[in-house]
């Protein structure tokens, strides 16, 4: 089984999974917060915020990577302060790759969650409030279960997007085997290497397979939860 | 119902497993080397079991310009092997290092290569009229910079520009010629020596460009052992086998 892939490819797969999981976990709470903000509230500058959140979707990924470099690189606006104060730098590390992937996945997660939040029947929440439940309890026991398909879809979309992240990653944290060389970056390196065709094909296969599994799982899980909620009503 | 838990369990297992896989360690020696050194350095590392003085060697290959920029921005590096003195000197100045932390290691030659399948005699002048020629990107790839100097000296640069393809490093150019995606490329002699899917069509006169000198920059003292190993007689023999010309130690 271990001969299926070379050690470098196993390393790329492990790194890809680690980066995707961490970026998904980091992206979720932020996405949920923004989704609530955009779905439930009106405030000046809302369109601007919406635009900024969706920037990673429409702007070239290399631009996002460049902005991350300017902001969080070792000599960046925020990064230099972080390094001088805490000795911490995420540039050229897998944590930086996770940040890049999380930023790129954010708009997808926000869209999925916002849709779910907007389709919640406010009447149910109001009913809970009239029965004496505090806002936090309403959120935890009424809203959250109702939007859980949306959260799940958003999480899996974020995971799949993070798995496939390339442009921002290679610009911000570069292509360092074992540290930032996720599957897309490893594939890119193999395409440029004489004799790397077989490895490139294997990596492409893994990439497609993992992404398909994530997407199908997302659909199946969402359908089950929707069905269970439908039965409860 | 059981299916849903199985899915979550599988996901949790994968997440934990992804952290358990061997990661980079602090005692690793990072060698940032020009892409053209990939075949010979990989063999060198294998010959040494991937370690020097007990430190695991982690090589990172890219164009010298790209590597210099990354190191300047804080990428971890203990030794930098640049395919031209320009990027090495740039980094020394950028980091404020003393010039005695550099060492000239190797020399190389530029050649015009074509796919082996193309058996007709080809020269650079042929490409002046037709055909796609690939170079390293002259903006940051030394091989591309040398090639541009040579083509400019031969007054072929302007005519070729519309049909030139730039690669992010010289090995990309080698890969594309091997696959027949381009009609030819200007690469190093060391690249041609190692491949049977391309052949040397013309050797480019070294007088047309700056000398191709590989300059090493010692970024941390932990890499002194590695640098010494690269300057040893065994290493010199290996470099010669791969088409490089080792320079005498102390140059």
ipTM of the complex: 0.74
Region for B142 from its dihedrals, namely left if φ exceeds 0, alpha if ψ lies in -120 to 50, beta otherwise: alpha
In this structure, are B172 and B237 located in the same domain?
A: no
All residues of chain A having their beta carbon less than 8 Å from the beta carbon of residue B18 are 14-18, 21
Dist. CA A90–CA A98, nearest whole Å: 10
In this structure, are B102 and B216 located in the same domain?
A: yes
In this structure, are B167 and B130 located in the same domain?
A: yes
Residue A111's φ and ψ, nearest 5 degrees, are: -60, -45
Region for B74 from its dihedrals, namely left if φ exceeds 0, alpha if ψ lies in -120 to 50, beta otherwise: left
Dist. CA B149–CA B156, nearest whole Å: 10
A38 or A74, greater pLDDT: A38
From residue A161, how far is each of A67, A104, A201, A212, A215 by CA, in Å? 19, 8, 20, 12, 10
Q: Is B134 contained in some domain?
A: yes
What residues make up the domain containing B198?
110-208
Q: Is B1 contained in some domain?
A: no
Contact check, Cβ <8 Å, A176/B60: yes
Q: Are B163 and B132 in contact (CB under 8 A)?
A: yes
Instruction: Please give the pLDDT value at position B251.
Output: 45
Instruction: Please give the pLDDT value at position B24.
Output: 61
- Asked if pLDDT for residue B1 goes beyond 70, the answer is no
In this structure, are B240 and B178 located in the same domain?
A: no
In this structure, are B99 and B119 located in the same domain?
A: no
Own/partner long-range contacts of A68-72 (Cβ < 8 Å, ≥24 apart): A68/A96, A68/A99, A68/A100, A68/A103, A68/A168, A68/A171, A68/A172, A69/A171, A69/A172, A69/B73, A72/A96, A72/A99, A72/A172
In this structure, are B153 and B230 located in the same domain?
A: no
Query: How remote is the C-alpha of B168 from its chain's centroid?
Result: 10
pLDDT grade for B51, boundaries at 50, 70 and 90: confident
Q: Do β-strands B133-136 and B164-167 pair in parallel, antiparallel, or remain unpaired?
A: parallel
Most confident region among A153-157, A196-200, B33-37 by mean pLDDT = B33-37
Contact check, Cβ <8 Å, A89/B62: no
In this structure, are B96 and B57 located in the same domain?
A: yes
Q: Is B251 contained in some domain?
A: no
Instruction: Please give the pLDDT value at position A231.
Output: 58
In this structure, are B200 and B219 located in the same domain?
A: no
Instruction: Please give the pLDDT value at position B76.
Output: 87
In this structure, are B91 and B147 located in the same domain?
A: no
Residue B222's φ and ψ, nearest 5 degrees, are: -65, -20
The structure's pTM equals 0.82
Q: Is B125 contained in some domain?
A: yes
Q: Are A168 and A65 in contact (CB under 8 A)?
A: yes
CATH number where B171 lies: 3.40.190.10
In this structure, are B50 and B25 located in the same domain?
A: yes
Q: Which residues contact B178 (CB under 8 A, 6 or more apart)?
A: A194, A195, B115, B195, B197, B198
Instruction: Please give the pLDDT value at position A177.
Output: 80
* Count of all residues that appear for chain B in the document: 251
Q: Do β-strands B79-82 and B213-218 pair in parallel, antiparallel, or remain unpaired?
A: antiparallel
Q: Are B76 and B29 in contact (CB under 8 A)?
A: no
Q: Is B73 contained in some domain?
A: yes
Q: Are A125 and A143 in contact (CB under 8 A)?
A: yes
Q: Are B183 and B131 in contact (CB under 8 A)?
A: yes
Query: How remote is the C-alpha of A61 from its chain's centroid?
Result: 14
Q: Is B26 contained in some domain?
A: yes
User: Smallest Cβ distance to B75: which of A10, A21, A92?
Assistant: A92
Domains and CATH numbers, chain A: 7-232 (1.10.3720.10)
As given in the structure block, the two tokens for residue A14 are 């492990």
Shortest distance between the Cα of A54 and any Cα of chain B, in A, equals 28
All residues of chain A having their beta carbon less than 8 Å from the beta carbon of residue B179 are 197
Shortest distance between the Cα of B36 and any Cα of chain A, in A, equals 10
Q: Is B241 contained in some domain?
A: yes
Domain count, chain B: 2
DSSP-assigned states of every residue in B154-171: TT-HHHHGGGEEEESSHH
In this structure, are B158 and B229 located in the same domain?
A: no
In this structure, are B99 and B11 located in the same domain?
A: yes
Q: Is B81 contained in some domain?
A: yes
């Amino acid at each position: 089984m271990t001969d299926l892939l070379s050690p470098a490819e196993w390393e790329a797969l492990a790194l890809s999974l680690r980066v995707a999981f961490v970026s998904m976990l980091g992206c979720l709470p932020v996405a949920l917060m923004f989704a609530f903000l955009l779905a439930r509230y009106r405030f000046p500058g809302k369109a601007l915020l919406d635009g900024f959140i969706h920037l990673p979707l429409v702007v070239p990924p290399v631009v996002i990577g460049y902005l991350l470099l300017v902001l969080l690189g070792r000599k960046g606006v925020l990064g230099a302060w972080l390094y001088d104060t805490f000795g911490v730098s995420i540039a050229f590390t897998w944590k930086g790759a996770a940040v890049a992937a999380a930023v790129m996945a954010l708009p997808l997660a926000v869209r999925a969650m916002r849709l779910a939040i907007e389709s919640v029947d406010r009447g149910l929440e109001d009913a809970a409030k009239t029965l004496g439940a505090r806002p936090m309890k309403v959120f935890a026991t009424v809203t959250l279960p109702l939007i859980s398909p949306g959260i799940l879809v958003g999480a899996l979309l974020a995971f799949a997007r993070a798995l496939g992240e390339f442009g921002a990653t290679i610009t911000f944290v570069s292509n360092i085997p074992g540290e930032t060389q996720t599957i897309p970056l490893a594939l890119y390196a193999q395409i440029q290497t004489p004799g790397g065709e077989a490895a490139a094909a294997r990596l492409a296969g893994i990439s497609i397979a993992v992404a398909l599994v994530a997407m199908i799982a997302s659909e199946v899980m969402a359908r089950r939860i929707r069905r269970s909620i439908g039965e409860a009503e | 119902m059981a299916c849903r838990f199985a899915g979550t369990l599988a996901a949790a297992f994968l997440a934990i497993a992804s952290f358990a896989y061997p990661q980079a360690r602090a005692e690793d020696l990072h060698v940032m080397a020009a892409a053209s050194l990939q075949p010979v350095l990989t063999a060198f590392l294998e010959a040494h079991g991937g370690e020097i003085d007990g430190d695991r060697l982690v090589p990172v290959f890219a164009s010298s310009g790209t590597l210099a920029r990354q190191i300047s921005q804080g990428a971890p590096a203990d030794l930098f092997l640049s395919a031209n003195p320009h990027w090495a000197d740039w980094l020394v100045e950028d980091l404020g290092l003393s010039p005695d932390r550099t060492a000239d290691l190797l020399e190389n030659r530029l050649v015009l290569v074509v796919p082996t399948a193309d058996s007709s005699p080809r020269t650079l002048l042929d490409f002046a009229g037709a055909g796609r020629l690939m170079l390293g990107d002259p903006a940051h790839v030394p091989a591309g910079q040398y090639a541009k100097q040579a083509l400019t000296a031969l007054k072929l640069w302007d005519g070729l520009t519309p049909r030139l393809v730039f690669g992010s490093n010289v090995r990309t150019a080698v890969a594309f010629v091997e696959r027949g995606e381009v009609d030819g490329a200007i690469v190093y002699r060391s690249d041609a020596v190692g491949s049977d899917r391309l052949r040397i069509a013309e050797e480019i006169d070294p007088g047309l460009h700056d000398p191709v000198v590989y300059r090493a920059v010692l970024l941390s003292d932990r890499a002194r052992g590695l640098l010494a190993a690269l300057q040893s007689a065994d290493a010199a023999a290996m470099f010669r086998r791969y088409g490089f010309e080792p320079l005498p130690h102390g140059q």
